[in-house]
Amino acid sequence: MVKIGNCSIIRFGSTWGTTGQDLSIYEKTNMHENITYAAIKRSIIKPIRQMASLSWSIQHSREYTLCWWDSGGHVVYQDNQNPVFIRKCSKKIPLKCLEQAEEVASTALFLGSDASTFITSATIMVEGAGLVFKR
Domains contained in the chain, CATH given: 8-126 (3.40.50.720)
Nearest to 111 by CA among 73, 65, 43, 57: 65
pLDDT tens by residue, 77-106: 556 677 888 888 888 888 888 888 888 899
What was the pLDDT predicted at 113? 93
DSSP labels for 72-99?
GSTTTTTTSS-HHHHHHHHHHSTTSSPP
Nearest to 57 by CA among 5, 8, 11: 5
pTM (global) more than 0.85: no
pLDDT tens-place values along the chain, 135 residues long: 455 567 888 988 888 788 878 888 888 888 888 888 888 888 888 887 777 777 666 677 788 889 887 655 444 455 667 788 888 888 888 888 888 888 889 999 999 998 998 888 888 988 887 776 554
What does R_g of the chain's alpha carbons equal in angstroms? 16
